A = this chain, B = another copy of it.
Amino acid sequence: MFMFTTNSQNVQSCIDACDHCHRMCLQSAMNHCLESGGEHVEPSHFRLMMNCAEICQTSVNFMLSNSKYHAQVCGICAEICDACAESCDRLDGMEDCAKACRECAKSCRSMSGSMS
Contact = CB atoms under 8 A, between A and B. Distances in A.
Interface of A: 1-3, 15, 19, 23, 26-28, 30-32, 34-35, 37, 41-44, 46-47, 50-51, 54-55, 57-58, 60-62, 64-69, 72-73, 76, 79-80, 93
A44 B66 CA distance: 10
B26 A65 contact: yes
A95 B16 CA distance: 22
A50 B72 contact: no
A1 B41 contact: no
Given A41-B37, A54-B58, A76-B73, A47 B23 contact: no
Contact of A43 (B34, B72, B79): B34
B58 A27 contact: no
A23 B15 contact: yes
A57 B18 CA distance: 14
Nearest to A97: B2
A2 B47 contact: no
B32 A2 contact: yes
A2 B23 contact: no
